[in-house]
Structure 1
Amino acid sequence: MLIRGRSSPPPPLWDSNRHDPDSILREGDTLQKQLDEWCVRATSALVVDRTKTSASLCGRLQRQLGASGGGDAAASSVVAANTASISGAASSNGAAAQCDPNGHPVTTVAPINPKYLMRPAAEVEKENPEFASQLAAHSNDKREIMLALANAVMICKNTTICWWNGGNILESFLEILERSNVTNHLIGVTDEETAKYLQDRAASRGAGAFAVNWFRPNVAIPASQANTREANRVSSLKFSLLQTSLQLGYHTMITDMDLVYLSNPFDALHRDADIESSSDGFDEMAYGHMSSIADPTMGWGGGGLYMQTFTINVGCAYLRATHRTFAVVKRAADELAAQPGWDQQVFNMHLLTQSHGDYSSPYATLRVMDIDKFVNSKRFFRSRRNAYIPGSRATAPTPVMVHFNYHPDKHARMVCIMDRYFRGQVDACDKFPGGSEPGTR
């Protein structure tokens, strides 16, 4: 039988008369936990800025330990580590993110190889003054920029080169930017034909028209990509520009042009991960799905579990300017500079491969965008077709974006989405099959 007796007072948190190293360390841990919990409550109540309080308290305690002739070296190192982690969180995340929700200082899992650390922004700006100026002029108040690349293939005057059977993707993309009011964009133009197209377009529309922000990147395409297809050459250039924009401190949404933003995508971001990206997944595997295997020859021990997940799509990805993000981008860029490759495959390998043996992951955190907000064309036209088509009976909410990564008739499907959601022609996409072949669903 359980007998409930009179409650007794809790034991003391520490014995103030003990001065041995273990007792002091336990006392320090208890104090640190209480301080962290207090910081969470104070910050949530808008009472205090943790940068000015907990870091200074820890710093004062550290100085006192040093002035007293050392005391316990281990205790001093613990305080120093806590001070560094708090100060690091304050400087990297800003005042609004001083305290982690569980009350612990924000720390990194492991040190990053110095080779993949971002260089000081001032140094990078001196080497890239024009790009830095463009970013400063066109980013929003959160230092966010949408970055795209364009060449004459996107204008598609030669249907042999633009293999999607014709259509001016660049012009449609510019209309999409205007319709969705994405003013914080910047387009890197890689050839004279595209530059002239944009100059003539701006002149014909006049001074009061929606401004298209573009520049000519002063970056060479790696020699390793010289004989690959056009898309690979442009993609390798994308990673060179990304390295610069991140080091200059701009959170960058990299985007392809074969997609339609139906609203401003920056309004739909969570901003709680190093990388927030759309997915090639069209079902639960986009977020990760647990599967199993069974090997009868192993008897009772023949089962095993594993995770399946789709790659993210760097045709629509938001990359925060952190050392971890930069490490993924630089690793991918270095590999693409050394040998031919598909940028999306290379990027995913460095982002998703887990640490093992001598290989250390960049430890970048990932958020997969909602696949019914940032929708790929296979989900829209095939795997969840009944929710989107026919348009008159659609049950799915209006997406933030539709990306035509699965279908070759890219521009025709872009136009149908624009007609349906921008111009109110609800049946504009109903005629398109689910797959690439007529009659498929």
Structure 2
Amino acid sequence: MSTMESSKRGGPARNSQRTIWLALLFGQAIVAVAIIMLIRSRPSAHPQQWSEHATDRDALRLEGADLKNRLESWRRRATAVALDPNDILGPGSGALTNGITSTGTGAIASEDVVDAAATCNPNGHPITAVAPLNPKYLMRPAAEVEAENPEFAQLLATYANDKREIMLGLTNAVMICKNTTLCWWNGGNILESFLEILERSNITNHLIGVTDDQAAKYLSDRAADRGPTAFKINWFRPNVRIPDVQANTREANRVSSLKFSLLQTSLQLGYHTLITDMDLVYISNPFNELHRDADIESSSDGFDTMAYGRINSVHDPTMGWGGGGLFMETFTINVGCAYIRATHRAFAVVKRAADELAAQPGWDQQVFNTHLLTQSHGEYASPYATLRVMDIDKFVNSKRYFRTRRDAYLPGASSSAPTPVMVHFNYHPDKHARMLCIMDRYFRGKLDACDTFPGGSDPGTR
């Protein structure tokens, strides 16, 4: 066959192939153009360029929504790598939450802009993980709360640290213990010791609410005697009253019920609050030891691993092979030393406890733990507050120190335990005597100051 014949025979086939290739190339070009147009039509992944001179209401609304979404995304990513957003944005940069921002200096409603299901509270946690919180338990705008409590708001602004954190305690004349029939710790001026503890540990961001004239006079006279150059004790007279239903309960219960009223206000003003009792010794500044990764970070009444929670089991032989079951057991936290962040979920626990204490007599610690730890069931919805239990060998209760881990702490000269941040005398009736021995040991270097104290309340117990 000649070359010409071969060319003639292959010509139509080659033309057909060329047509197919051209069609494919044309189709790919159309697809590429479509993709480019689609990408260009989508919202830009880059920040929208807004005019800094724009004053149009709708444009500002859209700009605010865009800025808020970008800020929340940044906060979540910063929190995930343990970066405190306040270190960069400043302490007054509370994030919008459910249409409300609580910065301590004011609050604005932004319901036209904010999608409540997508917003975050100041701690970077979602407002809710399962179901919306009851609006009754959401924090009110800070501006409203500040208008109702201007003096307390000013005190918080004056004495809080740069992270908007405050230590809040309450006292009355009973803590001075002039009448040993009223104080239940075998005598001793716990208030005076606590004031020394604040000074020794340099806890300047504190506020003490004073509930009676005698305690107020004691603090005024003390300040006058010490002079203006002495360590300053920040105290005030709370403008709230103890609920009527607590009138005939123990003195400690009456004071504790007042504590939750003040705590609600400080949280709504945007201040993370370390609530404290006075029957404890802060050996160092507790704010230096906080993790700040939960709604509530608290000391525990636990003196072993049950403080953190552990699995246990039951077995009923009459049930045969199916007679076993597992359960979680844990100690309650102790609200005598609890760091509570200004988040909606932490506030919900506080308000529920406060509402119950205002309606019926009760022990604040039991009521608080009930609302914090009870799981959602039936019609009951948990506040979903996250909890961190403080290290029980840093924030130590007196049973762990003097009894269950005694060999690590005592005798002091051969102690193998690290120096605690705090020791709380919640288990022993001779509170003040043991407070003094801890102060002597860690503040004044008397290593054997606590060696002779028994493990329990009775002499000779370990």
TM range (shorter): 0.7 to 0.9
**Higher Cα radius of gyration:** 2
2:299 aligned with 1:268: no
Determine which of 114, 118, 128 is the counterpart of 1:108: 128
Q: What displacement does 1:86 show? A: 9.5
Aligned twin of 2:353: 332
Q: What displacement does 1:18 show? A: 12
Cα deviation 1:27-49 (Å, max 9, x = unaligned): 99xxxxxxx89x959x97x9xxx
Determine which of 201, 214, 221 is the counterpart of 1:180: 201
1:437 counterpart SS class: coil
2:191 counterpart SS class: helix
Deviates more, 1:228-237 or 1:156-165: 156-165
Partners of 1:396 and 1:428 in 2: CA distance: 16
Q: What displacement does 1:275 show? A: 0.2
Q: What displacement does 1:168 show? A: 0.5
1:243 counterpart SS class: helix
Q: What displacement does 1:254 show? A: 0.2
For structure 1, the 5+ residue unaligned runs are: 1-14, 20-26, 29-35, 47-82, 101-105
Is the Cα–Cα contact under 8 Å of residues 208 and 235 in structure 2 kept in the other structure? Answer: yes
2:167 aligned with 1:150: no
Is the Cα–Cα contact under 8 Å of residues 281 and 439 in structure 2 kept in the other structure? Answer: yes
Partners of 2:419 and 2:191 in 1: CA distance: 23
User: What is the TM-score of this pair, normalised by structure 1?
Assistant: 0.79
For structure 2, the 5+ residue unaligned runs are: 1-30, 36-41, 44-72, 84-113
Is the Cα–Cα contact under 8 Å of residues 127 and 344 in structure 2 kept in the other structure? Answer: no
Aligned residues: 375
Name the aligned partner's letter for residue 224 of structure 2.
A
User: What is the TM-score of this pair, normalised by structure 2?
Assistant: 0.76
Q: What displacement does 1:87 show? A: 6.4
Determine which of 149, 157, 160 is the counterpart of 1:139: 160
Please give the residue correspondences for 1:41-440 in structure 2 after superposition, counting only pairs within 5 Å.
84=115, 88-89=119-120, 92-93=122-123, 106=126, 108-109=128-129, 110-440=131-461
Name the aligned partner's letter for residue 122 of structure 2.
S
What is the percent sequence identity of the aligned residues? 78
Q: What displacement does 1:118 show? A: 0.6
Aligned twin of 2:6: none
1:306 counterpart SS class: strand
Name the aligned partner's letter for residue 262 of structure 2.
L
1:276 counterpart SS class: strand
Partners of 2:32 and 2:432 in 1: CA distance: 74
Partners of 1:261 and 1:136 in 2: CA distance: 23
Partners of 2:189 and 2:350 in 1: CA distance: 30
Is the Cα–Cα contact under 8 Å of residues 122 and 342 in structure 2 kept in the other structure? Answer: no
Name the aligned partner's letter for residue 108 of structure 1.
T
Name the aligned partner's letter for residue 143 of structure 1.
R
Deviates more, 1:161-170 or 1:278-287: 161-170
Partners of 2:133 and 2:235 in 1: CA distance: 34
Name the aligned partner's letter for residue 188 of structure 1.
G
Partners of 1:18 and 1:181 in 2: CA distance: 67
Structure 1 pair 116/178, CA: closer, same or farther in 2 (3 Å)? same
Q: What displacement does 1:16 show? A: 10
2:383 counterpart SS class: coil
Q: What displacement does 1:84 show? A: 4.2
2:119 counterpart SS class: helix
